[in-house]
Amino acid sequence: MAEKRTSRDENYAKWYNELVIKADLAEFSGVRGCMVIKPYGFAIWEKMQAELDRMFKETGHQNAYFPLFIPKSYFSKEASHVDGFAKECAVVTHYRLKNDPNGKGVIVDEDAKLEEELVVRPTSETIIWDTYKNWIQSYRDLPILVNQWANVVRWEMRTRLFLRTAEFLWQEGHTAHATKDEAVQESKQMLEIYGEFAENFMAMPVLKGTKTEEERFAGALETYCIEALMQDGKALQAGTSHFLGQNFAKAFDVKYATKEGKEEYVWATSWGVSTRLMGALIMTHSDDQGLVLPPKLAPFQVVIVPIYRKPEQLEAIREKAKEIMAELRGLGVSVKFDDRDTHKPGWKFNEYELKGVPVRLGIGPRDLENGTVEVARRDTLEKDVLDLTGIAVKVKNLLSQIQDNLYQKALTFREEKTFKADSWEEFEEMIEKGGFVHAHWDGTSETEVKIKEMTKATIRCIPLNNTLEEGKCILTGKPSSQRVVFARAY
Amino acid sequence: MAEKRTSRDENYAKWYNELVIKADLAEFSGVRGCMVIKPYGFAIWEKMQAELDRMFKETGHQNAYFPLFIPKSYFSKEASHVDGFAKECAVVTHYRLKNDPNGKGVIVDEDAKLEEELVVRPTSETIIWDTYKNWIQSYRDLPILVNQWANVVRWEMRTRLFLRTAEFLWQEGHTAHATKDEAVQESKQMLEIYGEFAENFMAMPVLKGTKTEEERFAGALETYCIEALMQDGKALQAGTSHFLGQNFAKAFDVKYATKEGKEEYVWATSWGVSTRLMGALIMTHSDDQGLVLPPKLAPFQVVIVPIYRKPEQLEAIREKAKEIMAELRGLGVSVKFDDRDTHKPGWKFNEYELKGVPVRLGIGPRDLENGTVEVARRDTLEKDVLDLTGIAVKVKNLLSQIQDNLYQKALTFREEKTFKADSWEEFEEMIEKGGFVHAHWDGTSETEVKIKEMTKATIRCIPLNNTLEEGKCILTGKPSSQRVVFARAY
């Protein structure tokens, strides 16, 4: 741990990259833009998956699996979708390699060219609606409430670990409904679930809103989103839920017979969150000492580090640690005892700070004598010596406090970084400072694009339940009935 | 359910395909050779995953994620691996599509050709060992015990749902060790875990053994396998665990410093099971009425079907069903109450038989009066009227009986289909009948290949702890010291 690490103030982007690598979360691979998610990082993702999967199932969704490959022609079937998605994609053109006749490894076998190229899925609406067509005949077959956990590929030119990678992991829900109203309700429900997950598990406050037409998903009639604010004042879109209307049903000819025997097109939604959430989690809470994890998503919530000179001291500490671990596990707290003799306690303290373990317990011979333990919390870096009596309950309560504190801290930060701009000058200045800027906008894509070109700020969302308020567009001065939220974004 | 279904005796392959589709497990997609795993099928796969994942973690393994794509050149680094794996693969050659200038959808953008083609992983040894190289410096970094759950692609010409598909889901463990002994122990341990999973959860007896050189994994020094016998007398390889020696460490130059400061190559294993297990599960237990599921892997273990004419009868049954469900859930039994008014009880009975739900409870007004319930078990198709008192415990015990019975039935079947051949004539006859044939073999690949050409039978395994027994090769008459297991296989 001797090497100097970059601080957030020095260089936020560099701090982030260093942290992701040093905390053993992920790294780039030998394949351009593709990451390796390391065991510690993957364990956090598994925690996220478990909670989300539970929430999806509790609301009646089932998991399924659809092909990785999509025939090229499928993309052309939904006009706006093809523009948004079929471009920067990995394209499979051949299905065989052969030995190089010159003896230099393998080469593509030109005789094994596919009749139709296959696109590695950037998102699965097209292949799924091609499948749903055979699943849906009558109203009895609806709704279909399906989710899949999968890898997807979008050929990004500029990549960043977790935030933007050529391949990433995500879940994509794809539902089919008999009525428009039901589909709209579904897309709103999933937005609520994403919001609840972000706030209650990631301890990350989010704005909920709708996207402007310009920022909408390719093929959607409405895109609902959750937007979070990172510590550098940039926004991050953390999840989206789309009301797709009948666009995909029409593109893939998916109709159902109503109770009355009429034929109607099916209504659709899709919704997803990805390993990008890992980036959001890291950037929301971490500090110059390393990762800070909310207890609900930490691979292990407590680590016990023995402080000893002699083997018999270690044995005595181990006995006490076993008792404490049994009590903690009984309360549903995950705990690790680090008795490695290859590293000193100080090294371990740094290691667990870097890895964001919420609570660290240090026990030495003096503690055993006094019936005490040193309790260090990662969020505030505070240390305290506590009586061992009832320590498990105290730690469990502390974890709950840490979870709340992280959320409150992030919320306070966001509030301090939320501004109202009433003139172009104010707007430019605030955008430059970073944060969410509530401002009036004339509702046109033209103005939105101009503002983006001038300031790099985009409209992150039109908040749900927004207060209506007469005003003038900050750029054009044209009338506006509500403020929208601008920010520079990841 | 009126349509006639194919029986196993009529046409086993057709029976299997129909069953997979009718029981809503999987279907082929619009992409050649790629399947869609439907929600009911995926729920079984999730149960399998959960148990395996638990067993992996209990033995110290962690999950991680490695890239979908592998640079073509990586395959050439391990000489035997390239022959085995880099051939029938999906090859990505381009990273962009563009609008067809003729206005007909999208075409591949020839300007976006990759410098080096990427292969969609058929297995991940190469990309993982390229990564491990950076993770391993000294003995302190070992062992690495990592698993990943992933999709892989092998361009198969003849595909069958679950058994052989171009894309399939699997887990692949990849471990790195300081010593040969430790690596061998690891590969044996994982074989034991696969065996335990197959027998205790899938209720599928398996032979454990090693593969011959001819049938070994490309790049392995030893391949351990579990082999099951299907109802048509064909064998199915259900899982493999490979001791890879130092082959991949040498190919990717992965060395570690020993405690004594010497440099040594790292020892490796890899091991995997796939959605092929779904095929094995289906073919081991199912019958002409449909799927038969072992209770430990059933998405729901019990279904309650109300039998009623009048709405008030349904309400009375619902109250009783609620009590029963609460009791069952309290005992850890999963249960569904099917109160759909769109289908008659008889239709539902057929449906749940087809879907292999282990226990069905039927409750009608007469049952309420008498304090009874009709209990039907799927494995034997037996029905019984039982007293409602203590019904949850009775059902739980019944589930346990069903689990045991399925295993015993499959074991008896396998034993009846296991033969010893001592002459070529006997061998040919037994192979034709189907089943495992224990016979002497002279130990050469030449003989093995000849036998395969003549009979389509392969050596499934050399059983672990095989009895040594002097004998003569059934084909060449050359001396042999043990019998090996032949069968035709999936």
**Minimal-distance CA residue of chain B relative to A50:** B50
Please choose, from the candidates B112, B168, B88, the residue with its C-alpha nearest in 3D space to the C-alpha of residue A86. B112
3-state secondary structure of B266: coil
Give a yes or no: residue A95 inside a domain. Answer: no
Instruction: With CA atoms as reference, report the closest residue to B281 among B270, B269, B266, B295.
Output: B295
**Cβ-contact A318, A373 below 8 angstroms:** no
Indicate whether A180 and A269 sit together in one domain: yes
Which CA distances in Å does A87 have to A270, A276, A308? 20, 21, 60
Share of chain A above pLDDT 70, in %: 99
Instruction: State whether A251 and A180 are in the same domain.
Output: yes
- Report pLDDT for A81: 75
Q: How close, in Å, is residue A87 to chain B by CA atoms?
A: 5
User: Per the domain annotation, does A104 fall within a domain?
Assistant: no
Q: Nearest-CA residue of chain A relative to B114?
A: A90
> Average pLDDT over chain B, rounded to whole?
96
Predicted local confidence at residue B441, as pLDDT:
98
- For B209, the 3-state DSSP assignment is strand
Pick from B30, B37, B68: which is nearest to A130 by CB? B30
Are B65 and A120 within 8 A, CB to CB?
no
CATH code, domain carrying A179: 3.30.930.10
By C-alpha distance, the chain A residue nearest B341 is A140
- Residue B176: inside a domain, yes or no? yes
- Say if the Cβ atoms of A63 and B43 lie within 8 Å: yes
In which region does residue B99 sit, left (phi positive, over 0), alpha (psi from -120 to 50) or beta (all else)?
beta
For β-strands A113-120 and B383-387, DSSP reports them as unpaired
Residues B355 and B316 placed together within one structural domain of the fold: yes
| CA separation for the pair A240, A208 (Å, rounded) | 10
Which of A261, A285, A309 finishes a domain?
A: A285
Residue A351 near residue A360, CB atoms below 8 Å: no
Q: What is the mean pLDDT of residues B118-143?
A: 97
Q: Which of B89, B97, B110, B171 to mutate to test the interface with A (most CBs of A within 10 A)?
A: B97
Output the pLDDT for position A86: 63
Phi, psi of A338 (to 5 degrees): -100, 95
Residue numbers in B near A39 (CB within 8 A): 62-64, 146
What number is the ipTM of this complex?
0.96
- Number of structural domains (chain A) is 3
Of the partner residues B66, B106, B118, the one whose CB lies closest to the CB of residue A72: B106
Query: Strand A359-363's sheet: what is its strand order?
Result: A335-337, A302-306, A359-363, A372-377, A383-387
Cα angle: B117, vertex B123, B124; to 5 degrees = 80
Could you tell me which of A124, A258, A267, A60 has the C-alpha nearest to residue A183?
A267
Res. B325: pLDDT tops 70? yes
Q: Residue A134 sits in which domain range?
A: 12-67+125-285
Q: Any idea which of A172-176, B134-138, B216-220, B313-317 has the lowest mean pLDDT? A: B216-220
- Looking at the structure, do residues B198 and B334 belong to the same domain, yes or no? no
Q: Rounded to an integer, what distance in angstroms lies between the CA atom of residue A205 and that of residue A463?
A: 14
Three-state SS sequence of chain A: CCCCCCCCCCCHHHHHHHHHHHCCCEEECCCCCCEEECHHHHHHHHHHHHHHHHHHHHCCCEECECCCEEEHHHHCCCHHHHHHHCCCCCEEEECCEEECCCCCCEEECCCCEEEEEEEECCCCHHHHHHHHHHHCCEHHHCCEEEEEEEEEECCCCCCECCCECCEEEEEEEEEEECCHHHHHHHHHHHHHHHHHHHHHHCCCCCEEEECCHHHCCCCCCEEEEEEEECCCCCEEEEEEEEEEECHHHHHCCCEEECCCCCEEECEEEEEEEECHHHHHHHHHHCECCECCCCHHHCCCCEEEEECCCCHHHHHHHHHHHHHHHHHHHHCCCCEEECCCCCCCHHHHHHHHHHCCCCEEEEECHHHHHHCEEEEEECCCCCEEEEECCCHHHHHHHHHHHHHHHHHHHHHHHHHHCEEECCCHHHHHHHHHHCCEEEEECCCCHHHHHHHHHHHCCEEEEEECCCCEEEEECCCCCCEEEEEEEEECEC
Distance from CA of B130 to the nearest CA of A (A): 8
Q: Enter the tokens of residue B411.
A: 């074991």
Per residue in A233-291, pLDDT (tens digit) is 999 999 999 999 999 999 999 999 999 999 999 999 999 999 999 999 999 999 999 99
Judge if A221 and A366 occupy the same domain.
Answer: no
Percent of residues, chain B, with pLDDT higher than 70: 99
Which candidate, B289, B279, B284, places its Cα nearest to that of B17? B279
pLDDT at B104: 77
Mutation choice for A interface testing from B106, B124, B128 by most A CBs within 10 A: B106
State mean pLDDT over A429-435: 97
Give the span between the Cα atoms of A490 and B51, in whole angstroms: 38
- When pLDDT is averaged across residues A197-221 and rounded to a whole number, the result is 96
Cα→Cα distances B284→B52, B225, B241, B417, Å: 19, 18, 22, 13
Structure tokens at B133: 């190289």
- Can you give the pLDDT at residue A4? 80
A103 to chain B: closest CA residue: B76
For B166, nearest residue in chain A (alpha carbons)? A67
Residue of A nearest to B64 (CA): A39
Domain boundary among B232, B252, B285: B285
Give B386-414 pLDDT, tens digit per residue: 999 999 999 999 999 999 999 999 999 99
In a domain, B84, yes or no: no
Q: What is the pLDDT of residue B86?
A: 63
- Give the best residue of A27, A40, A69 to mutate against chain B (max B CB count within 10 A): A69
Query: How many Cα neighbours within 13 Å face the side chain of B62?
Result: 16
Do residues A339 and A316 make contact, with C-beta atoms less than 8 angstroms apart? no
With a cut of 70, say whether residue B249 has pLDDT above it.
yes
Model confidence at B215: pLDDT above 50:
yes
A400 HSE (CA, 13 A, CB side): 8
Segments in B331-416 forming alpha helices (H): 345-354, 365-370, 391-416
Rounded distance between C-alpha atoms, residue B302 and residue B314, angstroms:
19
Whether cis (ω within 30° of 0) applies to the bond prior to A67 is: no
Residues B447, B479: Cα–Cα separation, whole Å? 13
Q: Helix (H, G, I), strand (E, B), or coil: what is residue B382?
A: coil
The answer to whether the Cβ–Cβ distance between B69 and A34 falls below 8 Å is yes
The pTM of the whole model exceeds 0.90: yes
What is the Cβ-side half-sphere exposure of residue A285, based on CA atoms within 13 angstroms?
Answer: 34
- The answer to whether residues B25 and B41 touch, using CB atoms and an 8 Å cutoff, is yes
Ramachandran area for residue A162 (φ above 0: left; ψ -120 to 50: alpha; else beta): left
Instruction: Give the separation between CA A293 and CA A272, rounded to whole angstroms.
Output: 23
User: Do A375 and A308 lie in a common domain?
Assistant: yes
Say whether B36 and A64 touch across the interface (CB within 8 A). yes
Q: How far apart are CA A61 and CA A392, in angstroms?
A: 36
Which one of A34, A36, A80, A340 would you mutate to disrupt binding with B, by most B Cβ within 10 Å of its Cβ?
A36
Q: Which of A295, A50, A55, A63 is closest to A192 using CA atoms?
A: A55
Judged by CB atoms closer than 8 Å, whether chains meet at B42 and A63 is answered as: yes
Do the domain assignments include residue A382? yes
Determine the 3-state secondary structure of B466 from DSSP. coil
The beta-carbon neighbor of B131 closest among A36, A75, A131 is: A36
* Least Cα separation, residue B369 to chain A (angstroms): 33
Chain B closest-CA separation from residue A42 CA (Å) = 5
Query: Can you give the CATH number for the domain in which A446 is found?
Result: 3.30.110.30
- Joined together, the tokens standing for residue A349 give 């303290």
Reported confidence tier of residue A101, pLDDT bands at 50, 70, 90: confident
For the domain that residue A370 is a member of, what is the CATH number?
Answer: 3.40.50.800
**pLDDT confidence of residue A100:** 87
pLDDT of residue A1: 45
With beta carbons under 8 A apart, name residues in chain A contacting B125: none
Measure CB to CB from residue B151 to each of A35, A68, A70 and give the nearest one: A68
Q: Are residues B197 and B312 in the same domain?
A: no
Nearest to A189 by CA among A66, A96, A55, A323: A55
**Pairing, β B263-265 against β B255-257:** antiparallel
- Cβ-based contacts of A69 with chain B (< 8 Å): 31, 34, 90, 167
Average pLDDT over residues B242-250: 97
| Element containing residue B388 per DSSP (H, E) | none
Are the beta carbons of B67 and A31 separated by less than 8 Å?
yes
Find the residue in A nearest to B47 (Cα).
A63
Test mutation, A54, A66, A89, A91, chain B, max B CBs within 10 A: A91
What pLDDT score was predicted for residue B99? 87
Residues B176 and B150 in one domain: yes
Percent of chain A predicted with pLDDT > 90: 93
Does residue B272 form part of some domain?
A: yes
Residue A175, in any domain of the structure: yes
Residue in chain A closest to B78 (alpha carbons) equals A105
Domain final residue pick, B346, B374, B401: B401
Q: Which chain A residues touch B72 with a CB distance below 8 Å?
A: 97, 105-108
Contacts across the A-B interface (CB distance below 8 Å) = 193
Average pLDDT over residues A108-115: 95
* DSSP structural state of residue B201: I
pLDDT at position A3: 67
Q: Which residues of A touch B64 (CB under 8 A)?
A: 36-39, 42
Mean pLDDT across A128-153: 97
Task: Examine residue A112 and state whether it is found in any structural domain, yes or no.
Answer: no
The helix-helix angle for B424-433 and B445-455 (nearest 10°) equals 50
Q: Where are the beta strands (DSSP E) in B266-381?
A: 267-274, 302-306, 335-337, 359-363, 372-377
* pLDDT greater than 80 at residue B3: no
Subunit contact B43:A35, Cβ cutoff 8 A: no
In the predicted model, is pLDDT for residue B39 greater than 90? yes
HSE, CB side, 13 Å, CA atoms: give it for residue B138.
5
CB contact under 8 A, A37 and B127: no
Q: What is the pLDDT of residue A130?
A: 97
User: Looking at the structure, do residues B214 and B144 belong to the same domain, yes or no?
Assistant: yes
B270/B76: higher pLDDT: B270
pLDDT(B1) > 50: no
User: Higher confidence at residue B156 or residue A314?
Assistant: A314
Same-domain check for residues A482 and A375: no
Token duo for residue A227: 């937007």
Best residue of A21, A25, A27, A29 to probe chain B, by most B CBs closer than 10 Å: A29
Please check whether residues B391 and B262 belong to one and the same domain. Answer: no
3-state secondary structure of B363: strand
pLDDT tens figures, A306-328: 999 999 999 999 999 999 999 99
With CA atoms as reference, the chain B residue closest to A60 would be B39
Q: Check A29 against B130: CB less than 8 A apart.
A: yes
Q: Are residues A252 and A325 in the same domain?
A: no
With CA atoms as reference, the chain A residue closest to B79 would be A105
CB contact under 8 A, A118 and B31: yes
More confident residue, A156 or A317: A317
Other residues' Cβ atoms within 10 Å of the Cβ of residue A67:
29
The pLDDT tens digits for A444-489 are: 999 999 999 999 999 999 999 899 999 999 999 999 999 999 999 9
Is it the case that residue A80 has pLDDT exceeding 80? no
Taking 60 as the threshold, does the pLDDT of residue B100 lie above it?
Answer: yes
Q: Quick check: B279 pLDDT over 60? A: yes
